[in-house]
Structure 1
Amino acid sequence: MWYSSAVGISLWALQTRNLDRNTILRLAECEFVEKNENILITGSTGVGKSYLGTALGYQACIQGFKVSYFNTSKLFAKLKMAKADGSYLRELAKIERQDVIILDDFGLQALDSSNRITLLEIIEDRHNNGSIIVTSQIPVQGWYDIIGEKTIADAILDRLIHQSHRLELHGESMRKKRGINKG
């Protein structure tokens, strides 16, 4: 069963992270991919956002979907370089061909005008054509400030949020707990 073997999320972890077991099991069936829905995972550092996002991406891979993982800051840097060398549209096309993309650590820094437009293009390409899993330390209501310009933020968030499953994780940092257990 996916719940225990592929991801290894224990009942304790579900309860301490504010996760509903049935919701996670339903998402693991990957119907969200077939419906082109998104998953927005928020919470403080170390609570397992990236772990959960990549686990759901892994499950989608097992079911035959094409999935790509991106650290958001590194993706934007890569796409800026692609604009400079003329490969930007080719890189966007690669992203567009994926059934699911994972944007990890979204919002660690505010978007500049170039990254804002790039994000809008990615979101527009995927709207009703693919799924996005976003992980962020910033609550969704704070994403307007991260994106910047209100008109573009409205366009991005309207396409991203209204077809999404939102998971807000709680609890203490697992990195901190591991450090305590080792010491």
Structure 2
Amino acid sequence: MLHQQTIAQLRELKLPGMAAALQRQSEQPASSELAFEQRLALLVQQECDHRHERRCTRLLQQARLKYPLAAIEDFDTRPGRGIERSRYTSLALSDWATAGHTVILTGATGCGKTWMACALAQYACRQGHSTRYLRVPRLAEELRTLRAAGSYTKWLAQLAKTQVVVLDDWGLVGLDALTREALMEILDDRAGTRATLVTSQLPVEHWHAWIGDPAMADAMLDRMLQQAHRIVLKGESLRTPERPGGGLPAT
């Protein structure tokens, strides 16, 4: 009876992890053999684990990744892709997200750029980093909607605080002036302080011409390339019905 009252109080205090752990302890006679400090430590650890899991779930939902189930553990190891598992895993486990680095994934369509970017972003969420996925070809339409609603400035401010931003399909379609200015604002806010993931079919050496405005291109590339990890993917298309990380196609 006392256990049930305590469990109810823990839930009222918004400590559901501890409440669930105490419930399990009450159902396991062996738990009574543990010292008080040990039982308390287990309760606290369960609450910490529960909060971390909830935060990761919330961050993944907010990220809106194209492939939310992509995971670095499922990286395709077939040879000739331009990057080995060890290098990809080392990058994922490094401090690129907290250090505000740029990760650039380039290569032909179907080689797995978007999937790999989403896997890196998903791992960043698991590490507790706020993340947002943006598809550059659709950015112009989103910007028009934001400006019409009067929320463009607020949107930029939110992105500036987001620890990891994915810019997918960079260079796929031409830029209009408003989209170019928005990308400049996004990159300027992030330079050296927040991490950016970029995927592109277009080789980096052609980005200056794609951006269009020479002065703005210089400024954008300066911010992107100073602390950049560049990976050029190769090999045949990986677009198949079954893919690791939820059966999603590689892009």
Q: TM-score, normalised by structure 2?
A: 0.65
Q: Point out where structure 1 has 5 or more consecutive residues left out of the alignment.
A: none
1:40 partner SS: strand
Q: Which runs of 4+ in 1 moved over 3 A?
A: none
Comparing 156-165 with 26-35, greater Cα deviation is found at 26-35
Letter in 1 for 2:197: I
The change in CA–CA distance for 1:33 and 1:6 in structure 2 (over 3 A counts) is: closer
- How far off its partner does 1:30 sit? 4.2
**Residue 75 of structure 1 pairs with residue 75 of structure 2:** no
- State the distance in 1 between where 2:73 and 2:118 align: 9
| The one of 158, 166, 174 aligned to 1:110 | 174
- State the distance in 2 between where 1:115 and 1:27 align: 30
- State the distance in 2 between where 1:77 and 1:44 align: 25
The residue number in structure 2 matching 1:168 is 232
1:107 partner SS: coil
1:124 partner SS: helix
**Alpha-carbon deviations, 1:76-109, whole Å to 9, x = none?**
3212321233111011112112100001111111
**Alpha-carbon deviations, 1:100-137, whole Å to 9, x = none?**
00011111112111111111000001112201000000
Task: Name the structure, 1 or 2, with higher relative contact order (CA <8 Å, separation 6+).
Answer: 1
Letter in 2 for 1:109: V
- How far off its partner does 1:11 sit? 2.7
- State the distance in 1 between where 2:106 and 2:115 align: 12
**Residue 63 of structure 1 pairs with residue 127 of structure 2:** yes
1:115 partner SS: helix
- State the distance in 1 between where 2:87 and 2:231 align: 9
User: Alignment length, in residue pairs?
Assistant: 171
Q: TM-score, normalised by structure 1?
A: 0.88
- Answer yes or no: is the 8 Å Cα contact 1:30–1:60 preserved in 2: no
Higher Cα Rg, which structure: 2
Map residues 85-100 of structure 1 onto 2, 5 A cutoff.
85-100=149-164
The residue number in structure 2 matching 1:135 is 199
Q: Provide the alpha-carbon RMSD of the alignment.
A: 1.5
- Answer yes or no: is the 8 Å Cα contact 2:121–2:166 preserved in 1: yes
- How far off its partner does 1:6 sit? 4.6
- State the distance in 2 between where 1:140 and 1:10 align: 24
- State the distance in 2 between where 1:129 and 1:152 align: 20
Identity of aligned residues (%): 36
- Answer yes or no: is the 8 Å Cα contact 1:110–1:145 preserved in 2: no
- State the distance in 2 between where 1:66 and 1:170 align: 30
Letter in 1 for 2:226: H
The residue number in structure 1 matching 2:67 is none
Q: Point out where structure 2 has 5 or more consecutive residues left out of the alignment.
A: 1-70, 242-251
